[in-house]
Amino acid sequence: MKFGKEFKKQRVPEWTEAYMDYNGLKRILREIRSKKLSKHHAMHMRALQHKLRLDRTFNGLHLQSNSPQKGDMDIEEKVIDVDALPRDGSRQFYKTNFLRQSEEGGEIEALFFQKLDEELNKVNTFYKDKAEALMHEANLLNKQMEALIALRVKVANPGQGQGREMTLTTAVATDGNNNQEETVGGSEFNPIQTTNEKEEELSFNKEELKKVEEKLRRAFIEFYHKLLLLKHYSFMNLSAFSKIMKKYEKITSRAAARAYIEAVDKSYLGSSDEVICLLERVESVFVKNFSHSNRRKGMKSLRPKKRKEKHSVTFFTGFFSGCLIALLVAIVLRMVSQDVMDKVEGTFYMEDIFPLYSLFGYIILHMLMYAANTYFWRRYRVNYPFIFGFKRGTELGYRDVFLLSTGLAVLVLASFLVNLHLEMDQTTRRYKTVTELVPLGLVILVLVILFCPFNIIYCSSRFFFIRCLVRCICAPLYLVTLPDFFLADQLTSQVQAFRSFELYICYYGLGEHSRRQQKCHGHSVYNTFYFIVAIIPFWLRLLQCIRRLCEDREFKHLFNGLKYFSTIVAIVIRTTFELKRGTTWMVCALISSAVAITINTYWDIVVDWGLLRRHSKNIYLRNKLVVPHRSVYFGAMVLNVVLRLVWMQWVLEFHWPSLHKTTITTIISCLEIVRRGIWSFFRLENEHLNNVGKYRTFKLVPLPFSYYNEEDNDKDN
């Protein structure tokens, strides 16, 4: 793989703008090369004409070569001067003087070095700022570690003094005959004196100590990964400067690489070793204090292995896909051969059995859309594991999600085929009660797998989903994070799935599966919950907006809440019209739905996706785009509007003679899930770009101890 592609692939997505503009410099070099090629072509023609003249004049004579000797070639002619000029106190910026600007094409080469200096100054400044921030964080962790050691001694030996173990304080450095002890990121710190003068009055138990250790352990792991990213950032940029200068020398035949690389090596980016020293110290402290001096165990925690694509996942995905196609063909042939839709049983299936199985259809379609999103997020380097806050190394790739989708689809279709066979076969019709329990058994099986406590079938991802789901249901009691409201938004597109689940409760709760009386749709309690169930996802999202408004004090959350409130009103009126009918309810449903569609569409495109910016570099889009083809964004906006308008089918009720009403409802619900999948990609893309703009690569990890300075406290008083 060429370095340019590798450089782009290995960049930290959130720091993309802070890396050297390798491609920009290559474009300038291509321009220089084109100038050189045209110049060399002209020189070659002149040399050829000169040689012909010499051949005619000195026929048979060989002229002595005037080419430079080997000793002369070793003497490099000076091409550039690189000056390190002071700026902002301790900082430096680099300026290169190109000494051959008067030559033909020299102005382009001067432009190249000007651009190169800009990139070096940018990279050097960013690296130093990040390194200084990490030094400050190391100082804080050093204090936290000292306090933890004191707490361990206090718990193990109440009443005794402070112990001394390894912290982020560096080892003694020797300089001649003088020994001097230094600290990484700060001076020595005594947590007993600074934290509380009355430590003997504090009491801690082992459970509290474990919680403190776990918090500090997570903080060390996150800090270590920050150091690794910054080290990798330094390595990749140093490699980029070396590669681009080699290309320059190859194109121009000027020996300038050594002089410029020496300047790069002397810069903070090339000469600083604070990050490497901190990495070594963190490893030592972590192994000593959090893995009982077991280095292998400690390094496994600090450097968890990345998820590798397993051959078994690919194999079973293909296997389940083949089974899925076979089952679909079998079901279609069975229904056609038995003329199911032309019999009374067909109507029963469409009104009761089909909605039971459609619950799984909605879930599977949503999972397939998520699988497609993970594929494109990874392809366009959207850092979705960081944005969602997945535990490192546990995020599911698109192959894993597709495997789960196809596996569940095979399970559902096999159950449906068994149900159909038992229903239509004359020899098994007497087992109708058992036949109708097949969908319920499938629901129970899926719930058992979802809540299985054992470390099987992507346990970490299942528990992450359950935690987010609980936080959504308990809104606004919990602080709202991005995974919480992202999941709640997904639930708003699963209204029909909620209604199918309600049908499960009614169908099996009232015993209709044994009597087949179809009383659910005429039951007053069922119709009441038919309203409530459709509102629940939007109500939860509204409560989340209220919580965020109280937390952040930003009015955009109020407007977002009003958006969901308008949707709730539209659903209530539309559902009332569906049950009661009448011209008045139809007009009210049209107006409320139109208002909700307008508000939701505007919010999707302008706020959630960040598009339709009039003064952006990409007209009517935004300044930064992840997908290189702008037509994709315009197509997504048009498709979002069209799929939003499909909602009107529930109000206008266009008649499709060849389709059953249940089929139309299912198609509209599936289109809404597809719309939500498209929305999810661009919503997370916009969130990713916001993180890129702020160079955020890690979540904030809360530290267990708080500190205050007595001097500052005296000043406040």
* Statement to judge: residues 315 and 222 lie in one domain: no
3 state DSSP class of 133? helix
Do 273 and 321 lie in a common domain?
no
Q: Verify that 642 and 664 share a domain, yes or no.
A: yes
- Which of 285, 303, 321 is a domain's end point? 303
| Each residue's pLDDT tens digit, 397-408 | 899 999 999 999
Q: DSSP 3-state assignment of 31? A: helix
Residue 606 · residue 599 · CB < 8 Å: no
Work out the widest C-alpha separation in the chain, in whole angstroms.
Answer: 116
Mean pLDDT of the chain: 80
Q: Indicate whether 437 and 535 sit together in one domain.
A: yes
How confident is the model at residue 647, as a pLDDT? 77
- Whether omega for the bond prior to residue 476 falls within 30 degrees of 0, making it cis, is yes
At 355 the pLDDT is: 80
If phi > 0 it is left, if psi is from -120 to 50 it is alpha, else beta; for residue 391 that is: beta
Residues 275 and 333 in one domain: no
Helix intervals (H) in 339-453: 344-348, 354-379, 384-388, 398-424, 432-436, 438-450
In the chain, the number of structural domains is 2
Phi, psi of 44 (to 5 degrees): -65, -40
Residues 22 and 161 in one domain: yes
Regarding whether 330 and 231 lie in a shared domain, the answer is no
Domain that holds residue 495: 311-694
* Residue 359 tokens, joined: 């619950």
Contact at 8 Å (CB) between 36 and 123? no
In a domain, 199, yes or no: yes
Rg (CA), the chain: 34
Question: What are φ and ψ of residue 83, in 5° steps?
Answer: -105, 135
The C-alpha angle with vertex 670 and arms to 504 and 347, in degrees rounded to 5, equals: 50
Contact 439, 501 (CB under 8 A): no
In a domain, 704, yes or no: no
Amino acid at site 124: N
Residue 702 covered by a domain: no
What's the gap between Cα 200 and its chain centre?
A: 46
> Which of 243, 271, 303 marks a domain boundary?
303
> What is the C-alpha separation between 299 and 281, in angstroms, rounded?
13
> Does residue 285 sit in the same domain as residue 385?
no
Residue 637, pLDDT score: 95
Measured CA to CA in angstroms, residue 497 lies from 90, 490, 661 at distances of: 62, 12, 16
Integer Cα distance of 120 and 236 in angstroms: 13
Confidence (pLDDT) at 506? 81
Distance from C-alpha of 676 to C-alpha of 674, rounded to nearest angstrom: 5
With a CB cutoff of 8 Å and minimum separation 6, the contacts of 476 are: 543, 544, 546, 547, 550
Nearest alpha carbon to residue 152 among 142, 168, 163: 163
Cα(500)–Cα(506) distance, rounded to whole angstroms? Answer: 10
Q: Which helix (H) or strand (E) holds 268?
A: helix 268-271
Domain match, 531 and 643 both: yes
Task: Tell me how long the chain is.
Answer: 717
- Note whether residue 701 is domain-resident: no
Residue found under tokens 């038995």: 338
| Whole-number pLDDT of residue 181 | 39
Give burial (CB, 10 Å; 0-12/13-18/19+) of 447. exposed
Residue 42, SS3? Answer: helix
Q: Which residues pair with 94 in a beta bridge?
A: 84
Question: Strand 91-98 relative to strand 80-87: parallel, antiparallel, unpaired?
Answer: antiparallel
Rounded to 5 degrees, what are φ and ψ at 81? -120, 125
Counting as low any pLDDT under 50, the low residues of the chain are 41, 56-76, 162-164, 170-202, 514-515, 710-717
pLDDT digits (tens, 9 = 90+) for 344-361: 555 566 666 778 888 999
Buried b (16+ CB within 10 A) or exposed e, 92-105: bbbebebbbeeeeb
In this structure, the answer to whether residues 274 and 402 fall within a common structural domain is: no
Same domain? 369 vs 413: yes
Distance CA 435, CA 253 (A): 82
pLDDT of residue 659: 64
Tokens of 591: 């107006």
Do the domain assignments include residue 505? yes
Question: Is there a single domain that holds both residue 277 and residue 354?
Answer: no
* Confidence (pLDDT) at 696: 59
- pLDDT number for residue 195: 42
Give me 602's structure tokens. 């505007």
- Domain boundary at 303, 336, 361, which? 303
HSE of 446 in the Cβ direction (CA atoms, 13 Å)? 20
Within a domain: residue 43? yes
Judge whether 71 lies within some domain.
no
Give the HSE-up count for residue 155: Cα atoms under 13 Å, Cβ half-sphere: 15
708 within a domain of the structure (yes/no): no
